[in-house]
Amino acid sequence: MLIDWFTVIAQVVNFLILVWLLKHFLYRPILDAIDAREKRIARELADADAKKAEARKERDEFQHKNEEFDQQRSALMNKVTEEAKTERQRLLDEARQAADALSAKRYEALQNDAHNLNQAISRRTQQEVFAIARKALTDLAAASLEERLAEVFTRRLREMDEQAKRSLGEAIKTASEPALVRSAFDLPAAQRTAIQQALNQAFSAEIPIRFETAPELISGIELTANGQKVAWSIADYLVSLEKGVAELLKEKEQAEAQAQARAQAKKPSVLTQQIGQRAYELYEEHGHKAGHAAEDWEQAEHEIRKEILRPVKTGPKAEIKPRAKANLEPEAEAKPEDKVAHEPASKVDPVPEGKSADKVGSKPAAKDAPGSAAKAEAKPATEAEPKPEGKPVAKPEATAETEPEKKSR
Amino acid sequence: MHLSPDEIIFWQSGFVKLNATIVYTWGLMAVLAVGSKLVTRKLSTGLQRTRWQNLLEIVVTGIDKQIAEVGMSQPQKYLGFLGTLFLFVAMASLFTIVPGYEPPTGSLSTTAALAICVFVAVPLFGIEDQGLGGYLGDYLKPTVIMLPFNIISELSRTLALAVRLFGNMMSGTMILAILLTITPFIFPIAMSALGLLTGMVQAYIFSILATVYIAAATRVRKPKPVPAPEPAAKQ
């Protein structure tokens, strides 16, 4: 028999025991372990997912921040570049303007210097010329000459035209003071009576006269009454001559100054442009380095000026300049002189009312004097030169020199 | 020359006796239990695990998967019984590489005992699953006339299980013994290797058949509730 029933039963029992054993020792622990591991893995995966989500969120956030930062940076960069550009432009403009101003100033100063020099020269020349004339005439003047002058004066009174005669007569009659007759030398009694007679005859009335000596007249006689004046003197003629010369110089100067101004109007700007161009070339040569703008400009200016002056120096430029300066000068000087010359030019001049006749009379003489005064200082004074002359001279010299300077600037 | 290890009797006292089948079975049981105990004593639930644990996990999850493939909705419920069947038969044939060992499955008593276990387990699982009436009702399907045929098939398949396993295991040892007498060199090794293979195949067949029988007994009325847990299982 192949089947042993005891063995069968035993094997069934054995098998059941084995089932229990394996269930207890194998399946359950293994399955539990697997379950635990799966749970753990699931938990870890969930954690990982959560962390991943968090990380993604953070990454997004950082990305966003990064983008923002980039944008801000680029914006700032643009801003800075823009600012630098404008700053550069501004600096360039400033430098250009400064250079323009500098060159203009220099040009102006140069012109002023030349102008002043020419003014001084012409004034001096004028003064010298008149001083010489005055001196020569003063030297010639003498009592015998005075006699002749008195004759001429009386003749003049007689030959006066009607209108002037009437106005002068009225002035003499209405005057509270006696009419003043001034002469360079003391008039002898005969001549005084002759003048008195001539006056009486001219105005057909008894006219009170006061005689006075005025050496600044050089040579001549002058009648002043209540602001009206009749005169014949060499100073008078000299003043008239001065005025004529001044007017001539003024006309000439004005015409040429205009031409000069037109010619030179463009010059600084063209120059500046050239200098600017050259400065930029230098800046490029130096490799676009900042901080040398002023040096570059100086160098460029130097080069350009050199370039321009080289061919021109021998040519017309050298000629033009002095001429312009010589012409510029009289314009300023004509003004004070104009005033001075005005009074003696017309025979009968209205004198400002508030001023006394005495003051008005001395005025032109005083202003004419500086030339002779200057000469008197330079050379030892001649014998004929009277001392009192020094006093009235000192003041006008100062005013005559300072005034034109102020006006010309 | 003996056909079955039952014939090797170490000790006998009347009906009770201690033959090679029982002794070797105990040996297998001891090896299996102690081995599992040793391995599962220090189980790791982390990602790092020992090679032995890995092996056992592969075995257990493999059996579990196999049961699930047959169509059982709750494989772990039957894992103890069916897994033990497979492991016992497989180990019995695997130990044939040990000299002097007689596989207990080579005894018709052992295979009959296993078949009886299956024979008893099938209605037990069926009744547990469907209730007594439900299980017994299966014998009347599709008609009452089929009742005797159903009963016969139940008995015959149990018999077939026992005889198939016995025949294969016994033949394996028998062939080995015969070949050893004819050609003692090399050829028996090849046959022994073949025996290992057939033993594994038999273990698989035996446990799969038992699974199929149990599945047939339990899942007749299952199709209705099955769709419901599926989405739940997916979650």
Tens of pLDDT, residue by residue over B91-138, are 998 998 888 888 888 888 888 899 899 989 988 998 988 888 888 888
A233 domain-assigned: yes
Q: Give the pLDDT score at A42.
A: 92
Q: For B114, which of A6, A15, A23 is closest by C-beta distance?
A: A15
Domain that holds residue A310: 95-409
ipTM of the complex: 0.86
Q: For A3, which of B61, B83, B108 is closest by C-beta distance?
A: B108
Residue among A7, A19, A39 with most chain B CBs within 10 A, to mutate: A7
Q: For B40, which of A17, A18, A29 is closest by C-beta distance?
A: A29
A14 touches chain B (CB under 8 A): yes
A40 and B45 within 8 Å at the Cβ level: the answer is yes
Measured at the CA of A284, the angle between CA A279 and CA A290, to 5 degrees, comes to 80
Q: Tell me the chain B residues in contact with residue A42 when contact means C-beta distances shorter than 8 Å.
A: none
Complete DSSP assignment for chain B: --SSGGG-EEEEETTEEEEHHHHHHHHHHHHHHHHHHHHHHT---SS---HHHHHHHHHHHHHHHHHHHHT-S-HHHHHHHHHHHHHHHHHHHHGGGSTT---GGGSHHHHHHHHHHHHHHHHHHHHHHH-HHHHHHGGG-S-GGGHHHHHHHHHHHHHHHHHHHHHHHHHHHHHHHHHHHH--SSHHHHHHHHHHHHHHHHHHHHHHHHHHHHHHHHSTTTTTTSTTHHHHHH-
Q: Which of B19, B70, B73, B120 is nearest to B224 (CA)?
A: B73
A287 domain-assigned: yes
Q: Give the pLDDT score at A387.
A: 43
A27 touches chain B (CB under 8 A): yes
A406 domain-assigned: yes
B70/B212 Cα distance (integer angstroms)? 7
Q: Give the pLDDT score at A300.
A: 81
> For chain A, how many structural domains are there in total?
1
A140 domain-assigned: yes
Q: Give the pLDDT score at A259.
A: 76
A75/A73 Cα distance (integer angstroms)? 5
Q: In this structure, what token pair is assigned to residue B46?
A: 């982390």
A26 and B36 within 8 Å at the Cβ level: the answer is yes
Give the confidence band of B192 by pLDDT, cuts at 50, 70, 90: confident
At CB < 8 A and 24+ separation, what contacts does A64-73 make? Answer: none
Mean pLDDT value across chain B: 83
A64 domain-assigned: no
pLDDT digits (tens, 9 = 90+) for B30-59: 999 999 999 888 888 777 888 888 899 899
Give the confidence band of B62 by pLDDT, cuts at 50, 70, 90: very high
Q: What residues does B13 pair with on adjacent strands?
A: B16
Q: Tell me the chain B residues in contact with residue A31 when contact means C-beta distances shorter than 8 Å.
A: 60, 64, 76, 79
Contact of B229 with B73, CB cutoff 8 Å:
yes
DSSP-based three-state secondary structure for A232: strand
Give the confidence band of B165 by pLDDT, cuts at 50, 70, 90: confident
Cα A124 off chain centre by: 26
Q: Tell me the chain A residues in contact with residue B3 when contact means C-beta distances shorter than 8 Å.
A: 2
Q: Give the pLDDT score at A380.
A: 43
A19 domain-assigned: no
Local structure of residue A187 (DSSP, 8 states): P
Q: Tell me the chain B residues in contact with residue A16 when contact means C-beta distances shorter than 8 Å.
A: 117
Q: Give the pLDDT score at A341.
A: 40
- How far is CA B228 from each of CA A79, B69, B222, rounded to the nearest angstrom? 68, 18, 11
Nearest CA in chain B to A35: B45
- Find all residues with CB under 8 Å of B204, minimum gap 6, and list them: B86, B90
A18 and B110 within 8 Å at the Cβ level: the answer is no
A56 domain-assigned: no
Q: In this structure, what token pair is assigned to residue A131?
A: 């001083």
B220/B203 Cα distance (integer angstroms)? 26
Divide the 409 residues of chain A into consecutive groups of 10 and give the mean pLDDT of each group. Answer: 82 92 90 89 92 93 93 94 93 91 90 87 80 77 70 77 77 74 76 80 76 73 72 72 80 77 62 78 77 78 74 44 43 42 43 43 42 41 42 41 43
A345 domain-assigned: yes
